[in-house]
Amino acid sequence: MAILRAENVVKTYERAGASSVEALRGVTLRVEAGEFVAVTGASGSGKSTLLTVLSGLDLPNAGSIHLDGIDVTQAHEEDLAGLRNRKIGFLFQDFHLVPSLTAWENVAFPAELAGEKTARERARALLERVGLSQRLESFPHQLSGGEKQRVALCRAVINRPALLFADEPTGNLDTRNGQEVVRLLLDLKAESGSTLVLVTHSDALAAQADRVLVMSDGRIL
């Protein structure tokens, strides 16, 4: 059963004083529930744009995207924000942690927004699960890159998302920390039953996926 469907998706960016850039050129795909799909391709091929559009962080100029049966391209922004919080987890290359919040506060925040009464307990349990029991009260500037990405991973999965998106999650990490984050990501995906769509330049990481999509010039080859 497809949890994610995209049909003829086009995304164009306007540039001041220059011609527009067509980042996505009629992309069509479907992702089955529970699947792990890796998206690869050269820099500038449209991989990250595809992820932001599929996840509802940005909207396409044309085409449709259905997430768990809901047409996100037709949803109102207020409804879309709630949908993203309930159904989607996103893991960024640059972590995107809130500097003024501690590790456990960063993780608990999406669950608190969703009205989860046990948000704090779940956040602490997840951080302990990834080996950060001694860093619960640490702020992002006090954490290493690997620790920041583990916090970001816990935040991405705390609401047990149906869909988990990851954009180069090991791009800013050394080999050892990158391998550890990947192991934890796949473990937590398996435990939650989430579907994973991941952008990567790593052939080794892509090889672990159920399916690999290769992008070039805004299209899936």
Range of the domain at 204: 2-220
pLDDT band, residue 173 (cuts 50/70/90): confident
Total structural domains within the chain:
1
Most confident of the following: 50-59, 77-86, 101-110: 101-110
Number of C-beta neighbours around residue 98 at 10 A: 12
DSSP letter at 198? E
| CATH number for 59 | 3.40.50.300
Count CB neighbours of 216 within 10 A: 13
**What pLDDT does residue 136 have?**
95
Cα 210 from Cα 36, distance rounded (Å) = 5
Q: What is the CA radius of gyration of the chain?
A: 17
User: Is the pLDDT score of 77 beyond 90?
Assistant: no
pTM, rounded to two decimals: 0.90
Give the separation between CA 197 and CA 204, rounded to whole angstroms.
Answer: 16
Q: Which of 68, 43, 44, 46 is nearest to 58 (CA)?
A: 46
The answer to whether the CB of 34 falls within 8 A of the CB of 193 is yes
What is the reported pLDDT for 115?
87
pLDDT at 17: 67
Average pLDDT of 49-74?
Answer: 89
The arithmetic mean of pLDDT across residues 25-35, rounded, is: 94
Which of 3-7, 66-70, 166-170, 171-175 is the most confident on average? 3-7
Phi, then psi, of 182 in degrees rounded to 5 = -65, -45
118-161 pLDDT, tens per residue?
Answer: 999 999 999 999 999 999 999 999 999 999 999 999 999 998 88
Classify residue 199 as exposed, middle or buried by CB count within 10 Å of its CB (0-12, 13-18, 19+): buried
pLDDT value for 175: 86
Query: Which residues are paired to 5 by β-bridges?
Result: 30, 66
Count of all residues that appear for the chain in the document:
221
pLDDT score at 65: 93
Query: Measured between alpha carbons, how far is 64 from 10 in angstroms, rounded to an integer?
Result: 9
